[in-house]
Amino acid sequence: MAYETALTVLADPTRRQVFERLRHGPCPVHAIAKGMPVSRPAVSQHLKVLKDAGLVEERSEGARRIYSLRREGLAELRDWLDSFWDDALLAFKIEAERTHRHAKGQGDGE
Amino acid sequence: MAYETALTVLADPTRRQVFERLRHGPCPVHAIAKGMPVSRPAVSQHLKVLKDAGLVEERSEGARRIYSLRREGLAELRDWLDSFWDDALLAFKIEAERTHRHAKGQGDGE
DNA sequence: CCGTTTCGTAAGCCATGACTTACCGTAAGG
DNA sequence: CCTTACGGTAAGTCATGGCTTACGAAACGG
């Protein structure tokens, strides 16, 4: 799953709350919904989105669906963030070069 | 700035595009807007949001405002992501304990 | 000085998506 | 069986927020 998906999905506060609720460990839907400011169907909808994004996984246990965290779903987002630090040095180098030949006239880029 | 802010702000595709545009280096507004699917005012609005979130910074240079990346703005989000890996071991340990005394009756949590 | 470039802000429109209630299956249990 | 717990899905409402056009203000250039 692309980092864009994780970003979009985790942007919603309620959905993030659902997600964080699963840090403690696997949990059935009704238990997640309890202590949450929204209705149970709303939680179900959030869980579906989280599952489609690969951020949680679901297993059936009789009548209940037990949801649990999928930390690998965060991997791509983490990598994306890391990539910014990677090219920090690169950007610095480029800017240093530019400064050297103090090109002022066409410095706007693009 | 809290990680929630970075998450919310970077969730929008267009705004993310603006943000990524600055990876190459500082850039005035009109240059960012060029080659973007939206109008210049839209870009300005995105830049304001990004600035308020501490993800970019702005410096005046004559009539133009030069925007540049602020990688520190991503730090909290990175830490938040990292924290999930931190408690992965912890959760594993807890679950292991639970399995040991095979507590079945009150396993639902909460 | 007047026109042009650069940019921010205001107002208004409209699509997206989060939430609700209502309903329908399935499993457990008397 | 019939009832109750559990949970997914549908339909409809409504607020959030991203986009546009229009305008105003500051610097630059002839």
pLDDT tens for each residue of B20-69: 999 989 999 999 999 899 999 999 999 999 999 999 999 999 999 999 99
Distance, in Å, from the CA atom of A84 to the CA atom of B13, rounded to the nearest integer, reads 17
Question: By the 8 A CB rule, do A26 and B110 touch?
Answer: no
Distance, in Å, from the CA atom of A59 to the CA atom of A65, rounded to the nearest integer, reads 6
What's the CATH number where A44 sits? Answer: 1.10.10.10
Q: Evaluate if the CB of A91 falls below 7 Å from strand D.
A: no
Question: By percentage, how much of chain A surpasses pLDDT 70?
Answer: 77
Q: Evaluate if the CB of A41 falls below 7 Å from strand D.
A: yes
In a domain, residue A83? The reply is: no
In a domain, residue A33? The reply is: yes
In a domain, residue A110? The reply is: no
Distance, in Å, from the CA atom of A47 to the CA atom of A56, rounded to the nearest integer, reads 8
Query: What number is the average pLDDT over the span B91-109?
Result: 47
Q: Which residues contact A104 (CB under 8 A, 6 or more apart)?
A: none
Tell me: ipTM over 0.95.
no
Terminal C-alpha separation, chain A: 32
In a domain, residue A97? The reply is: no
Per the structure, the complete domain to which residue B63 belongs is given by: 3-73
**pLDDT score, position B1:** 62
Q: How confident is the model at residue B86 (pLDDT cuts 50, 70, 90)?
A: confident
Q: Can you tell me which residue has the tokens 């109008």?
A: B39
Half-sphere exposure of B34 (CA within 13 A, CB side): 8
CA–C1' nearest nucleotide, residue A67: D7
Question: By percentage, how much of chain B surpasses pLDDT 70?
Answer: 77
Which residue of chain A is at minimal alpha-carbon distance from B83? A23
- Could you tell me which residue, A47 or B101, shows the higher pLDDT? A47
**pLDDT score, position A85:** 86
Distance, in Å, from the CA atom of A5 to the CA atom of B39, rounded to the nearest integer, reads 25
Residues of A in contact with B108 (CB under 8 A): 27-28, 31
In a domain, residue B86? The reply is: no
Q: Evaluate if the CB of A64 falls below 7 Å from strand D.
A: yes
CA to C1' distance (Å), from B62 to D23: 22
Tens of pLDDT, residue by residue over A45-98, are 999 999 999 999 999 999 999 999 999 999 999 999 999 987 656 656 555 654
**pLDDT score, position B110:** 34
In a domain, residue B21? The reply is: yes
In a domain, residue A82? The reply is: no
A49 touches chain B (CB under 8 A): no
Report residue B102 as tokens: 């095979």
Number of domains in chain A: 1
Question: By the 8 A CB rule, do B54 and B4 touch?
Answer: no
Mean pLDDT, all residues of chain A: 86
**Is there a contact between B78 and A81 if contact means CB atoms under 8 Å apart?**
yes
In a domain, residue A29? The reply is: yes
Mean pLDDT, all residues of chain B: 86
Instruction: Please determine, for residue B4, whether its predicted confidence score (pLDDT) is greater than 50.
Output: yes
